[in-house]
Amino acid sequence: MTSGEDFQRDMRYVTTRITRDGADGYPVEAGRYRLIAARACPWANRAIIVRRLLGLEDAISMGLCGPTHDQRSWTFDLDPGGVDPVLGYERLQQAYFARFPDYPRGITVPAIVDVPTGELVTNDFAQMTQDLSTEWTDFHREGAPDLWPDALRDEMETVMKRVFTEVNNGVYRCGFAGSQEAYDAAYDRLWTALDWLEDRLATRRFLMGDSITEADVRLFTTLARFDPVYHGHFKCNRQKLSEMPVLWAYARDLFQTPGFGDTTDFLQIKRHYYVVHSDINPTQIVPKGPDLAGWLTPHHREELGGRPFGDGTPPGPVRPGEVVPVEASAAA
């Protein structure tokens, strides 16, 4: 991530894939890989949600970094002794360097690590979740949803591209603008897209129709962070999410669906942005608000029909050790 007059995200990721045929040297194999994520990060939150929706907990273990990091790396400060219990690492950086000793770019989450070698496989967050849906089907739970339905893929790609460029990345473009002109342009682009989404979701329950797809996962992680962080911290302040009737109801519908709200840690989210971005928030004071109780209020989106999981079923209870603490959730 770079900042300047016009924010530009560094999209050069390690694009190695884990596939059935193992074409890149890493075949799909239960128990071999570890997803390293951070609940604070919207890109990593996507992978956590998809893993849970598909029921891949037994096939791919998960390690969680804390909400803050320094310039070197995300760290395993949530674990006893500050060491990931599977990899034996204190820093995610160690997995990157195990494969690329001179790795020159930022250490990002989510990342998938090959446990036997301790080496990074990929940090390509967009391809990663698509592959979890399409390459790992042998290990999906019974009743797992189809997050990449064949009939919708072309339209999904178009929708997700706009969501990424204008919303997921659009809030960062506002927050890290280096001039008034750049900020004004970014702000206008963001709200044009949010108004488009408000219109699109007025007559359909989910982005692609009657059921949840990857497109909804990608949008949700930005919406969940909007009022706690992006509205104030990133100056995306035309309205709060809670003041946009359709998007707010849509976000609550997803939040109350297993896999979404139960993977969202608001305390870690706020701590990450307000502490790590000291250039924007030099005091590093973390705000106490907003009130999260609204996330659990009725949304009435079921009146639009549809079935969130299509022909599938919701995931079961969150696995022990992966539960978001009550004090960090909307139930607090």
Q: Is 41 among the residues known to form the active site?
A: yes
Three-state secondary structure call for residue 157: helix
Q: Determine which one of 41, 65, 174, 236 is catalytic.
A: 41
Number of Cβ within 10 Å of residue 189's Cβ equals 17
- Omega within 30 of 0 (cis) for the link into 110: yes
Whole-number Å distance between alpha carbons of 63 and 65: 7
Tokens of 117: 């070698």
Q: Is 172 among the residues known to form the active site?
A: yes
- Are 87 and 113 spatial neighbours (Cβ–Cβ below 8 Å)? yes
- Are 36 and 91 spatial neighbours (Cβ–Cβ below 8 Å)? no
Residue in 312, 309, 167, 328 with CA at minimum distance from that of residue 247: 167
Whole-number Å distance between alpha carbons of 56 and 236: 35
Residue recorded with tokens 């999209």: 11
* Strand (E) or helix (H) holding 226: none
Number of Cβ within 10 Å of residue 97's Cβ equals 17
Q: Is 191 annotated as a binding residue?
A: no
Q: Determine which one of 33, 96, 172, 273 is catalytic.
A: 172
Three-state secondary structure call for residue 58: coil
* Strand (E) or helix (H) holding 319: none
Tokens of 287: 């705000």
Annotated binding-site residues for glutathione read: 74
Binding-site annotation, residues:
74
- Residues annotated catalytic, as ranges: 41, 172
